[in-house]
Amino acid sequence: MINASLPELRRALDARQISAVELATLFLDRIDALNPALNAFITVDRDGALAAARAADARIAAGSAGPLTGIPLAHKDVFCTEGVLTTCGSKMLANFVSPYDAHVVSLLKAAGVVSLGKANMDEFAMGSSNESSYFGAVKNPWKLDRIPGGSSGGSAAAVAARLAPIATGTDTGGSVRQPASYCGITGIKPTYGLVSRYGMIAYASSLDQGGAFGASAEDCALLLGAMTGFDERDSTSLERPTEDYAAALAAPASGKPLEGLTIGLPREFFAEGMADDVRATIDAAIAQYRALGATTVEVSLPNAKLAIPAYYVIAPAECSSNLSRFDGVRYGHRAADYGDLGDMYAKSRAEGFGAEVKRRILVGTYVLSHGYYDAYYLQAQRLRRLIAQDFQAALQHCDLIAGPTTPTTAWALGEKADDPVQMYLSDIYTIAVNLAGLPGLSHPAGFGADGLPVGLQLIGDYFAESRLLGAAHRFQQATDWHARRPACAG
């Protein structure tokens, strides 16, 4: 059962081959055994999980189970969960127990999902390696001396090691797709606004978007379908009909299942900067797409090279505003010794925030300050518009865009800790998608020379989630990269 897909788990639960309580216990015991080495979870909610599993068993017995009823899941610790610690990977919130559920959490509870606990993450979702967490670095299940990617590294590692079959994540500049690539699983970031941000602790509000992790596109489709939906409490939530992403995968896979699909290959993604082993793996994956009937065309994203500088102006500017609420007054960490209110603010933040969070707050405050707002922030927003226009122009010539998710495989823990710019460059292929608000998906495409996973990224037009998932699903029906497991997953 550990390596079963969601449809296989659904059939086993419905046939009473295993109960939801037994399934939850199976994964909880794996967490107890493997999490000390992986550090993928910050909080394990055994009592809450078993209570939810008992409720799921009652629904199954009554014949009212849905596709996810009784399925175990890990929540990234950025989603507020009523009565359970929500730390955001920070000392600032190390003692914060949320009094309410995020919209995503509420939807998944209603679907009957069994939450196992809260997955580790880069502090306040700021990082690309999951090394900035106050609770320690997460280890990559394929090689424990490597990073799993970030900021949703705990969620990705948990799914890769089969500590949970599925997990939620968030993606601000690649934080679902990048760790999915490094950990050899599938991850999808939907169109901005499809998943409510209510109860999702904010980093950069115009970029943050909830996403889904699973071993396969099919598993991601089932999870994402339960996560989407209009939420009037989120001013950026899109009011549009929900889609059954899993049903869209049901077309026959015989013959040339991708015939008629045109995939654009941006010349900028295949220029210098990509490691040779990653390039070879991506070339082979694209050849597989052609074998399945897809045609490829060269497209251009001329402003893609400006995505990183634009992002690292806009995102820190928004974080400097969003994180001002953490002042030690109402909740979160408060310094023990201080003189007056201003001193309490300063000491609480100095003690509560880690180095990467402080770095981004300082950059954001600088670019928003008088005399620099026009020179940096407004210029970055203009670049953002140009990047979005580039994607629209490219998508006039193709149905999807494909390329590498990351320029290399996962690097060693600590290797880039003292060089944040080099770490930022690991998101070079993912950030532009967030700036444009488009959906993106990463799926396993093979392995690099070091035996570590390589992910291929698919990018679609707004609301093209079904097309992304469908293309990845056809690829996975013809290959077994998504079925490979690290040794710890047995």
Cα dihedral 118, 122, 123, 124, rounded to 10, equals -80
pTM above 0.95, yes or no: yes
Position 252 scores a pLDDT of 62
247 has a pLDDT exceeding 70: yes
Cα dihedral 438, 443, 449, 451, rounded to 10, equals 130
Instruction: Determine the Cα–Cα distance for residues 203 and 215; give it in Å rounded to an integer.
Output: 27
The arithmetic mean of pLDDT across residues 432-459, rounded, is 98
Where residue 420 falls among pLDDT bands split at 50, 70, 90? confident
Q: What is the pLDDT of residues 57-109, one digit of tens each?
A: 999 999 999 999 999 999 999 999 999 999 999 999 999 999 999 999 999 99
Contact 361, 320 (CB under 8 A): yes
Where residue 254 falls among pLDDT bands split at 50, 70, 90? low
**Catalytic residues, which ones?**
76, 151, 175
Q: What is the pLDDT of residues 142-185, one digit of tens each?
A: 999 999 999 999 999 999 999 999 999 999 999 999 999 999 99
Q: What is the pLDDT of residues 370-394, one digit of tens each?
A: 888 988 999 999 999 999 999 999 9
268 has a pLDDT exceeding 60: yes
User: Which uninterrupted H or E stretch holds 382?
Assistant: helix 379-394
Instruction: Determine the Cα–Cα distance for residues 48 and 401; give it in Å rounded to an integer.
Output: 41
Provide the β-strand partners of residue 213.
167, 187
Position 422 scores a pLDDT of 85
Other beta carbons within 10 angstroms of residue 47's beta carbon come to 8
443 has a pLDDT exceeding 70: yes
Other beta carbons within 10 angstroms of residue 61's beta carbon come to 11
The larger pLDDT score, comparing residue 331 to residue 220, is at: 220
Q: What angle do CA 147, 125, 332 make, to 5 degrees?
A: 125
